[in-house]
Amino acid sequence: MSQAPSYKRILLKLSGEALMGDDNYGINRSTIEQIVGQIKEVVELGVQVGIVIGGGNIFRGVSSAASGMDRATADYMGMMATVMNALALKDAMGKVGLIARVQSALTMQQIAEPYVRGKAMQYLEEGKVVIFGAGTGNPFFTTDTAAALRGMEMNVDIMLKATKVDGVYTDDPKKNPDAVRYQTLTFDEAIGRNLKVMDATAFALCRDQHLNIKVFSIFKQGALKRVVLGEDEGTLVHC
């Protein structure tokens, strides 16, 4: 029996590091294929998918050169790195028959469409995956904040933050075997317990606009689909 998804439209936040796999930097082919495979599973359930991708995997390679650089210039480089990841993701999606569009917050018209809210909404309604590149387009921000903003603008039902760990734990599960995963947490509990779900700006935006966040591991096979089907996977941070 096929199950109905719990969400009609999602915003998936992937950090650049998610694409690295076990490599030290860059994009690992089998890792990106694994991630795209999971995205395909939920698109096939009829879920509309927007993605904000980070740039840490690419920018790390130049970060030593960037140290001592003007912060805004380094941040623009970081945003360009996210566009590279967005293009790689789109390419990998095309190979498995998913139709994706890249919209960039910085104008790069030869390689990506500019971000236009109405157009992005239309693509989502058509079942196309929309990958939002270049973060917010502003230095001094992060792609977590971009994910919160785009998620709100796209009226998504939930923000899914993909991490290496399968949720938020009472302690670092790698160091403490007794650490327990929270199934759910309120925004206030996360703040009170000093649990870093995402950066403070992004977190405050989600809390204020009542955009719930699910933290889960993209490296766990089938986890994205289980999240979308409302199964016990990851940690839900809610109002």
Residues that bind ligand UDP (CB under 6 A): 15-17, 54-56, 59, 74-75, 78-79, 82, 135-136, 138-139, 141-146
Adjacency order of strands within the sheet including 184-186: 113-114, 100-104, 129-133, 48-53, 9-14, 158-163, 213-217, 235-238, 184-186
141 belongs to an annotated ligand binding site:
yes
Q: Return the number of the residue (16 or 234) whose C-beta is nearest ligand UDP.
A: 16
Q: Return the number of the residue (16 or 167) whose C-beta is nearest ligand UDP.
A: 16
Q: How far is the CB of 199 from ligand UDP (least distance, A)?
A: 8
| CA separation for the pair 106, 55 (Å, rounded) | 14
Q: Coil, strand or helix: which one is 198?
A: coil
Q: Return the number of the residue (10 or 146) whose C-beta is nearest ligand UDP.
A: 146
15 belongs to an annotated ligand binding site:
yes
Q: Return the number of the residue (127 or 137) whose C-beta is nearest ligand UDP.
A: 137
Q: How far is the CB of 180 from ligand UDP (least distance, A)?
A: 26
Q: Pseudo-torsion of CA 160, 124, 55, 18, nearest 10°?
A: 50
| CA separation for the pair 132, 104 (Å, rounded) | 6
Burial of 193: CB neighbours in 10 Å, binned 0-12, 13-18, 19+: exposed
Q: How far is the CB of 40 from ligand UDP (least distance, A)?
A: 22
Q: How far is the CB of 114 from ligand UDP (least distance, A)?
A: 15
13 belongs to an annotated ligand binding site:
yes
Q: How far is the CB of 201 from ligand UDP (least distance, A)?
A: 10
The percent of the chain in helix, strand and coil, each rounded to the nearest 5, is 40, 20, 40
235 belongs to an annotated ligand binding site:
no
- With beta carbons less than 8 A apart as the criterion, state whether 126 and 43 touch: no
Q: How far is the CB of 17 from ligand UDP (least distance, A)?
A: 6
Q: Return the number of the residue (8 or 71) whose C-beta is nearest ligand UDP.
A: 71
H-run or E-run covering 202: helix 200-208
140 belongs to an annotated ligand binding site:
yes
- The region that residue 155 occupies, defined by phi over 0 for left and psi between -120 and 50 for alpha, beta otherwise, is left
57 belongs to an annotated ligand binding site:
no
User: Tokens representing 19?
Assistant: 């694409």
Q: Return the number of the residue (5 or 139) whose C-beta is nearest ligand UDP.
A: 139
163 belongs to an annotated ligand binding site:
yes
**Residue numbers belonging to the annotated binding site for ATP:** 13-16, 56, 60, 163, 169, 172
**Residue numbers belonging to the annotated binding site:** 13-16, 55-56, 60, 75, 136-143, 163, 169, 172
**Residue numbers belonging to the annotated binding site for UMP:** 55, 75, 136-143
